[in-house]
Amino acid sequence: MKEDPDRSLVKRAQCGDTRAFGELVQKYQRRIYELAYNFTHHPEDAYDLSQEIFLRGFKALNRFESKSTFYTWIYRIAKNACIDYTRRRASQKNISFVEEFPADDFLFPSGGPEDVTMHGLEQAELGQEIRNAIQQLSPRQKQVFILRHYEGLALREIADTLHLRVGSVKAHLFSATRKLRDLLAPYLEN
């Protein structure tokens, strides 16, 4: 296992240095937010969930033993929090079917609504179709795909994070890619 570049920050945070933990939060908040957004599809819920993830991490920091990298550890906390979120949402009877679209780069590629182009709208539509297709993957395929293509983790890091063999990660990634290719074929032909 390679050396964790965050080890000194973690040690300082474990000794009560809240600034050190703040640096860890700052370093990983975007990645954790994006992971949460992939589960929630709502900017506010993703923000709240990412805050909850870091709070859980802070409370459990003394149990972190450096057997993995800090990111792998906080990712496991995030994965569990996202699963909890999904279960809570599934148990609610009045789930809204209206999805909110964030004002992100897909919608406003040049920085503002006044600059929206047809290309930008097409990108937004394709982005939504990709998100919808990803939701149709099995939970394990979704995790592997997101970690590889959204988080940029290496196959070995994914295997360590999810407690899988590298061969299993490759199989899940292959299946996810094939399914997404089939689901998105009508959009890719144009």
Is 138 found in the same domain as 52? no
pLDDT of 45 strictly over 60: yes
| Residue (of 87, 29, 83) closest to 57 by Cα position | 29
Is 83 found in the same domain as 162? no
Q: What is the 3-state secondary structure (H, E, C) of 2-18?
A: CCCCCHHHHHHHHCCCH
Predicted pLDDT at 121: 60
> Who has greater pLDDT, 133 or 101?
133
Is 69 found in the same domain as 22? yes
pLDDT of 93 strictly over 80: no
Is 75 found in the same domain as 14? yes
Distance of alpha carbon 116 from alpha carbon 108, whole angstroms: 6
Distance of alpha carbon 104 from alpha carbon 121, whole angstroms: 11
Mean pLDDT of 76-100: 64
| DSSP annotation of 100 | P
Is 141 found in the same domain as 62? no
Distance of alpha carbon 129 from alpha carbon 127, whole angstroms: 5
Among 106-110, 111-115, 124-128, name the most confident range. 124-128
Query: Is residue 109 domain-resident?
Result: no
Is 154 found in the same domain as 90? no
Q: For the chain, how many structural domains are there in total?
A: 2
Q: Which domain holds residue 45?
A: 1-95
Please state which of the ranges 104-118, 119-133, 156-170 shows the lowest mean pLDDT.
104-118
Is 89 found in the same domain as 22? yes
Predicted pLDDT at 120: 57
Show the tokens assigned to 32.
């954790």
First to last CA, the chain: 44
Query: Is residue 126 domain-resident?
Result: yes
Is 172 found in the same domain as 89? no
Q: Provide the whole-model pTM.
A: 0.53
Query: Is residue 61 domain-resident?
Result: yes
